[in-house]
Chains A and B, each alone.
Chain A
Amino acid sequence: MLKYFKEIGRYFILMKKVFSVPEKKDIFFKQLFNEFEKVGLSSLSIVLIISFFVGGVVTIQQAINIDDPLIPKYLIGFVTRDALILEFSPTMIALILAGKVGSNIASEIGSMRISEQIDALEIMGINSASYLVLPKIIASMLFFPVLVILSIFIGIFGGWIGGISIGVTTADFVLGLQTEFSPFYVSYSLIKTVVFAFLITSISAFYGYFTKGGALEVGKSSTTAVVNSSILILIFNFIITELLLT
């Protein structure tokens, strides 16, 4: 138990070090744009592919489940839309990004730690935590919401294709999409995404930053980072939902 408290304490001490004013603004912005590419753009294809197919499958499953003449067909579009906005796009995509981006961050920073590159930064008088981690956190908190919005659109597009393939008309599907649309659901989804983005990058960076040993430990840090950030995503998903939707 004490070990966990110690770990949480170390995490907050690291975050205090991370959130300090960057030493050189121009270098920080250069790093930030690099991170947009590394944590954001490079995940675009996987997010779009998964969203398209999940949207399609969700629609087909709904169509099969509510195959009853008394239930209006437009509910298929309605359920697909809400499933994507409320849960699939923010939470499932966050779990996928925890695997892809999180492991990448933990192994990158972990490798820098064991090859003394982080020591070299510290020796030069550079705040290594802020220099390495802050651009990643900011980039993910700004870019993940963009990915989630794209995921919602592509998921709905996939849903429409899936619906057509089993006989749901475009008119019914679009009517479902328009029915009782609450813009707050999108806000809720984006708020969750920003929180998840922070969790993924900060937790992965934490495990990478405190890696000790060799290549084997880098792998372990990477795995621990993915597992723990996934668990925390699910816990915070519950907390945020309780706070915002009930």
Chain B
Amino acid sequence: MIEVQNLSKSFKENLVLDNISVKLERGKTNLIIGESGSGKTTFLKCLIGLHSIDNGEILFDNRKFSKMNDKNIRKFRQEIGVLFQGGALYDYLSVEDNIMFPLNMFTRLSLKEKRERVNFCLCKVNLEKTNNLFPSELSGGMTKRVAIARAIALNPKYLFCDEPNSGLDPKTAILIDNLILEITEEFNITTIVNTHDMNSVIQIGSNILFIHHGKILWKGNKNDLTKSKNNELNNFVFASKLFKTLRNENFT
């Protein structure tokens, strides 16, 4: 579980995250939703340590991030898997080498064992026999799936996904969503997904946080979402014609 206590972050005079406190549960897909510029990417980057925080504390299973020294942070980061928006695969490495990269850096496994682990991860994301392809030869969906395979290579305790469905067609987006859900439940990891894709929210949102102007305005699950009386949330959720129509037809 990840516990965030009174987290604030500003860039110069601009307060981006304002006193955020939240618990992100293990074995669940924790979705952070909000408009572009609401602060959700900054929140995610603060959680993974890419941005320093001004105030507050982040606890990873009761371990305070701020109390860790550089060596411990490096070790701790091996417990984190991150799926970046664009995949962030290393262009000069093949699919196999991309997934093997964290194994080469942090394990003493033999080549045979590493290959087995790579094949296991590729099997999890339904991309068997793509070992020798290079990132430039992959489609958007395949890139995301390889990035997920790399993120889970070291058996992480925490999985962070930044806009996993951006730029994907609806069918592939559902595939990625289901994959994230499956991995979360199977390995009982704490998953945080940063998204503004409402289909994802309906598909996998077991714990949803709505961020608006740097504050968490609403928490709940996908079933509560359509019943909320929060105006900002309703403006966001029912912004599209499709969702407006569905609301009028009383979908839950």
Within 8 Å by CB of B84, from A24, A111, A119, A125, lies: A119
Given A123-B50, A124-B105; A116-B74 close (CB under 8 Å): no
Q: Give chain B residues whose Cβ lies under 8 Å from the Cβ of A115.
A: 86, 88, 91
Complex Cα spacing A119 to B77, Å: 12
A224 to B105, CA, bound (A): 33
In this assembly, does B75 line the interface, its C-beta being within 8 Å of a C-beta of chain A?
yes
Contact check, A125 vs B106: say whether CB atoms are below 8 A apart.
Answer: yes
Bits for A118-139, please: 1 = Cβ < 8 Å to B, else 0: 0110111110000000000000
Cα distance, A24 to B90, chains bound together (Å): 18
Which residues in B have their C-beta under 8 angstroms from that of A23? 105
A132 to chain B, nearest CB (A): 11
Range for the number of chain A residues in contact with chain B: 10 to 19
Please, which residue of chain B has its CB at the minimum distance from the CB of A114?
B86
Q: Is the beta-carbon distance between A122 and B105 smaller than 8 angstroms?
A: no
| Residues of A with C-beta under 8 A to B78 | 124-125
CB A58 to nearest CB in B, in angstroms, measures 40
Residues from chain B with Cβ under 8 Å of A125 in the complex? 73-78, 106
Q: Kindly state the separation between the CA atoms of A116 and B86 in the bound complex, as whole angstroms.
A: 8
Q: How far is the CB of A13 from chain B (nearest CB, A)?
A: 14
At the interface, yes or no: B82 with Cβ under 8 Å from chain A?
Answer: yes
- 13 residue pairs of the A-B complex, CB under 8 angstroms, read A24-B105, A115-B86, A115-B88, A117-B90, A120-B82, A120-B84, A120-B90, A123-B48, A123-B50, A124-B102, A124-B105, A125-B73, A125-B106
A119-B84, A120-B88 known, 17 other contacts, Cβ within 8 Å? A24-B104, A111-B91, A112-B90, A115-B88, A116-B85, A116-B88, A119-B50, A119-B82, A120-B82, A120-B90, A122-B77, A124-B78, A124-B101, A124-B102, A124-B105, A125-B73, A125-B75
Query: B residues near A, CB below 8 A?
Result: 48-50, 73-78, 80, 82, 84-86, 88-91, 101-102, 104-106
A→B interface (CB under 8 Å): 23-24, 27, 111-112, 115-117, 119-120, 122-126
- Sort A-B residue pairs by CB-CB distance and give the 9 closest, nearest first: A125-B77, A125-B74, A116-B88, A120-B88, A116-B84, A123-B82, A117-B88, A124-B102, A125-B78
